[in-house]
Amino acid sequence: MAGFILKRLLQAVFVVLAVTLIVSFAIRLSGDPAIMLMGGGNVTEQDLQNIRQALGLERPFYVQYVAFLEGMVRGDFGKSFMGGTPVSMLIANALPATLLLAFASLLASIILSVPLGVYAAVNRGRWPDQMIRILSLVGLSFPNFWLAIMMVLLFSIVLGLLPPSGMEGPESFVMPALTMAIILTATNVRLVRTSMLETLSQQYIMVARSKGLRDRVVLYKHALRNSAIPLVTYIGLQFGGLIGGIVIIERVFNWPGMGTLAFDAISNRDYPVLQGTITVLALFIVLINLLVDIAYGLIDPRIRTE
């Protein structure tokens, strides 16, 4: 097991280095932050050069990248071009909001998808199975931004039940978390159903039923437990994807998380903020994938040899 974990750790380090290198290079193609800071008007080339020198942008790319890596190891991502606030402080303020929203969305999806998937598998081919499959297909067809806008129109503008934006209390979690949960549930229900159908056809399930075990025990203690490997893997990857792909939802609901921070940094060409934000998101995604791999190896020892 130690060799398996070490191999995954080395892969994670390589991925993080690759992501930081690509991001550091790509964001410098987005434009000159000196022009953004000066705001146009009568600006001379010397003025722009002075700004670049003050921001450290006149140095070669590889020098800037090495300095970024050294700072990343210490948890120092530099200072924002817009106001000089330490990037680490901005991330520390935004990251909890994103993690809470992602966790609430995933938890709601699991609570909805596992019982529905099991119920659909048990009633394979019958009307409940058909109805659940149709609803999951409908859920997959909704773009997340459209669903978010419809949530705001219905629950905030028409009914006036929930706040339309911001993070001001438990009720502010409902719409953004539910929006993401609906999209996730549409996929997870199909995954749970398929995995359960495969497990229920195994011989040991037939043996358990022949011994007189109750259906609830067979389904949830034996079948669902042995269907956990693909579920654990996919749900873990979903959580990583949620953290990295929640930008649009955060923007619609004006959620003060990493997505909003990254969006604003792109608009302002704020290299340190954007670079730090994407790096932290990448670190979380890599960490989650690493934990999923380890959990996968613990559940199925055969994985450790790969």
pLDDT tens per residue across all 306 residues of the chain: 667 678 777 887 888 888 888 888 877 776 666 666 666 556 666 766 777 777 677 778 888 888 888 888 888 888 887 777 888 899 999 888 888 888 888 888 888 888 888 888 888 888 888 898 888 888 778 787 888 888 888 888 888 888 888 777 788 888 888 888 888 888 888 888 888 787 777 777 666 667 666 766 667 666 767 777 677 777 777 776 777 667 788 888 888 888 888 888 887 778 888 888 888 888 888 887 777 777 666 655 555 555
pLDDT value at residue 294: 72
d(CA 287, CA 306): 19
pLDDT value at residue 39: 62
Those residues with Cβ within 8 angstroms of residue 177's Cβ, 6 or more apart along the chain or in another chain: 101, 104, 105, 108
Q: Please count the other Cβ atoms lying within 10 Å of the Cβ belonging to residue 90.
A: 23
105, 128, 108, 127: which is closest to 117 by C-alpha?
128
The amino acid sitting at 156 is S
DSSP-H helix ranges across 56-86: 61-73
Crossing angle of helices 61-73 and 2-26, in 10° steps, is: 140
188, 184, 160, 158: which is closest to 101 by C-alpha?
184
Residue at token pair 């303020």: 93
What's the predicted TM-score (pTM) here?
A: 0.76
* Contact yes or no for 252/148 (Cβ under 8 A): yes
For residue 224, how many C-alpha atoms fall within 13 Å in the half-sphere facing its CB?
17
d(CA 41, CA 35): 10
Helix or strand or coil: residue 151?
A: helix
d(CA 131, CA 121): 12
**Is the C-alpha dihedral spanning 174, 168, 240, 278 positive or negative?**
positive
179, 196, 281, 294: which is closest to 236 by C-alpha?
294
d(CA 38, CA 32): 10
Q: How many residues does the chain have?
A: 306
